[in-house]
């Protein structure tokens, strides 16, 4: 039995030694530093957005050195920030695809709030799919690890028994405890931030509020609520598309719109700059129109 226990212990030590090559310290707030993950060997670092609060950012490298970092961009909606450093010899390790994750698997949370890596052991207690966060953030996949995330662990990795990264830890999105953003959530956001410097937010130029749909249309549309346009800005994409005060928007580009948060989610990303179909209720009658979504920087 002692031999088996030692093998498990040695295995965990080996996982930490492998993964710590990609764990950095992120000193970008007044309190203790947070952690970050080397996303690519050319100097791209991912971390938690709530840990980046200063204009002056320093990154502590695995070899003990420190370098200045620049903020490439941030997505506050999912608590993710991308930094860039000028440094040779960085190591990026592989992320685990979502389909290979399992509830109950042993995982380690790693952080580098100081010069050396710290670790905490636990299991994956839950695996989540699409999650729309208040304010328009959208997480496609996440995991909830059952372990202690010590101060400074945010932005660091949750790693599996094979040393691959399961997700990026954040304590800012869930009041019930920390979660980790998986590759399917992190990768497209990083790509957008590297390309545009921000997560592009679509702009219609409307003010909206949630309203219940007319009884006669709820069954047909299979939804209880839509969003009432309580204002339409002059010369906005909405006005140009023919939308008027009092319209009730129910779908945009095929996506149901139940609330203002739903509309914010649909307006993000690759729909910006495109003309998309929509369905709305005007005077109790369901109509189909189209509108070109403009761009608004985050």
Instruction: Provide the pairing of β-strand 157-160 with 106-111.
Output: antiparallel
What does the alpha-carbon distance between residue 88 and residue 170 come to, in Å, rounded to a whole number? Answer: 27
Listed in sequence order, the residues at least 6 apart from 47 whose beta carbon sits closer than 8 Å to its beta carbon are 26, 34, 35, 36, 37, 80, 81, 83, 154, 155, 168
What pTM does this model have?
A: 0.76
Reply yes or no on whether 50 is catalytic: yes
Structure tokens at 128: 């989540």
User: Hey, what domains does the chain have and what are their CATH numbers?
Assistant: 2-196 (2.40.10.120), 201-296 (2.30.42.10)
* Annotated catalytic residue 270: no
Return d(Cα 59, Cα 51) in angstroms, integer: 12
pLDDT in the model for residue 132: 66
Question: Using only C-alpha atoms, what is the Rg of the chain?
Answer: 22
pLDDT at 177: 75
Element holding 68 (H helix, E strand): strand 66-75
Contact 240/275 with Cβ under 8 angstroms?
Answer: no
Q: Name the one residue in this structure whose structure tokens are 């799919």.
A: 129
Torsion, Cα 54 60 65 71, to 10 degrees, reads -50
Tokens of 291: 């509108």
* Catalytic member of 22, 27, 75, 79: 79
In the numeric block, which tokens belong to residue 273?
Answer: 């700059």
Q: How far is CA 50 from CA 58, 169, 173, 230, in A?
A: 15, 12, 10, 33
pLDDT tens digits, residue range 172-189? 887 777 899 999 889 988
* Secondary structure percentages of the chain, helix, strand, coil, to 5: 20, 40, 40
Tens of pLDDT, residue by residue over 201-248, are 788 999 999 999 998 899 889 899 999 999 999 999 999 999 999 999
- Walking along the chain (298 residues) 10 residues at a time, the average pLDDT comes out as 82 94 95 95 96 94 94 92 93 94 96 95 89 66 91 96 95 81 91 84 90 90 94 93 95 90 77 89 94 75
The partner residues of 35 in beta bridges, in order of sequence, read: 25
262 flagged as catalytic: no
As a whole number of angstroms, the distance between CA 46 and CA 25 comes to 11
Q: Which two tokens stand for residue 140?
A: 């496609």
Among residues 22, 27, 35, 50, the one annotated as catalytic is 50
Q: Where are the beta strands (DSSP E) in 88-141?
A: 106-111, 118-128, 131-132, 138-139
Which of the residues 87, 140, 154, 171 is marked catalytic?
Answer: 154
């Amino acid at each position: 039995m002692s031999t088996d226990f030692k093998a498990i212990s040695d295995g965990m030590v080996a996982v930490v030694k492998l993964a710590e090559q990609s764990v950095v310290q992120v000193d970008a707030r007044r309190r203790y530093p947070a952690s970050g993950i080397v996303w690519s060997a050319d100097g791209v670092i991912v971390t938690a957005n709530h840990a980046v609060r200063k204009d002056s950012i320093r990154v502590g490298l695995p070899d003990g050195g420190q370098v200045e970092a620049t903020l490439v961009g941030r997505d506050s909606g999912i608590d993710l920030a991308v930094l860039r450093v000028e440094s040779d010899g960085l190591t990026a390790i592989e992320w685990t695809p979502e389909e290979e994750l399992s509830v109950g698997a042993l995982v380690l949370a790693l952080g580098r709030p100081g010069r050396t890596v710290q670790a905490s052991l636990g299991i994956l207690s839950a695996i989540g799919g699409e999650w729309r966060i208040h304010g328009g953030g959208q997480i496609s996949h996440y995991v909830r690890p059952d372990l202690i995330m010590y101060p400074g662990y945010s932005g660091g990795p949750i790693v599996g028994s094979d040393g691959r990264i399961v997700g990026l830890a954040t304590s800012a999105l869930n009041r019930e405890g920390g979660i980790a953003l998986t590759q399917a959530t992190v990768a497209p956001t990083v790509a957008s931030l590297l390309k545009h410097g921000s997560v592009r937010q679509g702009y219609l130029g409307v003010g909206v509020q949630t309203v219940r749909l007319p009884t006669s249309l709820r069954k047909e549309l299979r939804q209880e609520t839509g969003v009432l346009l309580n204002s339409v800005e002059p010369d906005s994409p909405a006005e140009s598309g023919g939308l008027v005060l009092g319209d009730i928007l129910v779908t945009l580009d095929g996506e149901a719109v139940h609330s203002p948060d739903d509309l914010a989610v649909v307006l993000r990303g690759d729909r910006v700059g495109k003309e998309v179909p929509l369905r709305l209720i005007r005077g109790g009658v369901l109509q189909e129109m189209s509108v070109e979504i403009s761009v608004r920087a985050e």
